[in-house]
Structure formats: C-alpha cells, structure tokens
Amino acid sequence: MKIIDAAHVFFDYVRRDENDNIEEVSHALSDLSLSIEKGSFVCVLGHNGSGKSTFAKLLNGLNIPREGTVLVAGMDTRQEDKLLQIRETAGMVFQNPDNQIIANVVEEDVGFGPENIGVPTEEIWRRVEASLSAVGMLAYRLKSPNRLSGGQKQRVAIAGVMAMKPACIVLDEPTAMLDPNGRKDVMRTVHELNRREGITIVHITHYMEEAVEADRIIVMDQGRPVMDGTPREIFSRVEELKALSLCVPQVTELAYELRKAGMPISQGILTREELVKELCPLLRASGHEGNTYAKRTR
C-alpha cells in the first residue's frame, strides 16, 4: 500500500521585489513522480539545492505544488480542509532541534501536537508517556530542553511527532547539527520506530553511512529523482554518484578502488564485514596469512 504518492509535481520558489513583481523564479522541483510504500524506510540523498528539502515539505502540505498532485494516505495536500489530517498522518522533524521545540519542559512540548488536534486531556498524557518512552527520553520528561544535548533534543522532537500517532515521519536532515553520538542515538531511535511501530520513515540526509541501512534510496538532482533502488544497487554505481557530487561510504569506496585496480571483488560492498569476507580468500590465495585479520574483526 502506498502512503505517499506524488505525480508530476512542479514547485517553484518565486522571489518578488517590493512592488510584488517577480524578480527570480527557481524551479525547485520539476516533474517529480514517486511513491513510497507504507512501512518502508526511505533515504533521500542529494547535494545542496537538489530539491530534497522542498520535497520533504510537500509531504505534509507545508509546500503546495504548482502543478501535479501529492497524495498522503489518499488525501490531496491541496484540500485545505484535510490539511490538519495530512499533517497528523505525516509528521515532520527539522534540522535545528532548538527551532522546533516550543515548550520549556520536555513533556509539555511533546503534548503540543496532540493539544493542537484536540485530543482529550487523559489521552494526551497517555500519548506523551508512550512516545517519550518510545524514544527513550521518559526520564527527562520534566527537564528543560535547554539542558539537553542536541541528540536528546532531536529525540524529544521525534517524540513530539510520535504523540500525534503519525503513519509516516519525514525527517529533514535531523542529524546535520549533531555530534557522532547524537547522530547514532537519533538513527537508532528512528530505526526502532520503523521496525517496532511500523512507521514509514522518509529520511533526508547527506550522510552516506545513514543511507546504507535504509530499505530504499532515492537520489535527487535538479528537482527530480535520478536514481532509485536498494542501497546495494545505488552504491554499486559509484561513478554516477560521483558525477552528482555525492560520495559513497568509505568501505564501498575502498572496495570500488580495489576492484578498479583489478582485484576480483563484487560490486556494492556496504559494510566492513562484507569487504573482509571478500578479501580474505584473495589474501589466502595469494599466499598471505589473511586469517589473523579476519579473526580479529569478527
């Protein structure tokens, strides 16, 4: 079942001068068509200005397409009377954790969304507790967001979306401002929500390591998807990615270079374990003692 279905979407940013005359039009999205299956974990990659953030904001009616339609769980984002329902279905987490937390106490912030959609008081409390424990932040419920680390703040923001019981969460570079530990925490949380609660995740990022763990990767360039497939498929096409000024995970790059240098290594290596498995027989065949390395890493 499709939760998101975008067909032939065009979206422009129009800059106007003081007299409301059009000064400049940039086509952020042009003829974008894609759909996302319910329960999947999708990563959207692309360099700056490729339209990935614009795409994210289409999914909950923050951006309305100039042409084409975006259906979220069957609802057209153009229908204004459905807008609240759409935003309830597709929650959104933004890049800067400070700029999306409204309240001064963690639990009050998580309750903000349910309050807006008119959930009864007792049910709000239940949801706040459930979503805070789902992201592992229940112990911090009475703390001030200013006293949390970036990763913790971002998990609170995720809990705030969870409390609206969304079917889909769109994350717009949620890890861009975090340190490596915070990044790991947020990614673990998002994966758990996907696995345990079956929530569809649309994760926009430019960290390739995060994309490796997705079910599907969409690479965007100049306002439309140019590559679409599983991580293994996408990361086998190293040359194409590089042409789009994107990099590949370190291990993949190493495997690719070795392969180019003539070593018989299969395409689309994604993890260190896979590379080890490929390399050991080669080393043994060439007479080197490859076992010690293999033992140590396992």
Partner 1 sequence: MLRDITIGQYYPVDSVIHRLDPRVKLAGTMVFLISLFVTSKLPAYLLATGVLFGLIRLSRVPFRFITKGLKAIMILLVISVSFNLFLTTGTPIFRIGFLQITWEGISLAVFMGVRLIYLVLASSLMTLTTTPNQLTDGLEKGLGFLNRFSVPVHEIAMMMSIALRFIPILIEETDKIMKAQTARGADFESGNLIQKAKAMVPLLVPLFLSAFRRAADLAMAMEARCYHGGAGRTKMKPLHYEKRDKNAYLLMAVYFALMAASRFLPF
Instruction: Tell me the closest approach of the beta carbon of residue 111 to partner 1, in angstroms.
Output: 4
Strands (E) in the chain, as ranges, are 2-16, 22-37, 41-45, 67-72, 75-76, 90-93, 168-172, 200-204, 216-221, 224-229
Residue among 43, 88, 189, 217 that touches partner 1 (CB under 8 A): 88
Q: Decide if residue 99 touches partner 1 (CB under 8 A).
A: yes
Give whichever of 117 and 294 is closer to partner 1, judged by the CB atom: 117
Cα 75 from Cα 64, distance rounded (Å): 13
Give whichever of 1 and 142 is closer to partner 1, judged by the CB atom: 142
Which residues, numbered 135-154, are part of the site for partner 1 (CB under 8 A)?
Answer: 142-144, 146
Q: Decide if residue 185 touches partner 1 (CB under 8 A).
A: no
Q: What are phi and psi of 97, to 5 degrees?
A: -65, -30
Q: Decide if residue 161 touches partner 1 (CB under 8 A).
A: yes
- Look up residue 161 and give its two tokens: 């979306």
Kindly calculate the radius of gyration of the chain based on its CA atoms and give it in whole angstroms.
22
- Look up residue 144 and give its two tokens: 């001030």
CB atoms within 10 A of CB 205: 22
Give whichever of 12 and 129 is closer to partner 1, judged by the CB atom: 129
Q: Decide if residue 48 touches partner 1 (CB under 8 A).
A: no
Q: Decide if residue 102 touches partner 1 (CB under 8 A).
A: yes
Give whichever of 200 and 236 is closer to partner 1, judged by the CB atom: 200
Instruction: Tell me the closest approach of the beta carbon of residue 134 to partner 1, in angstroms.
Output: 17
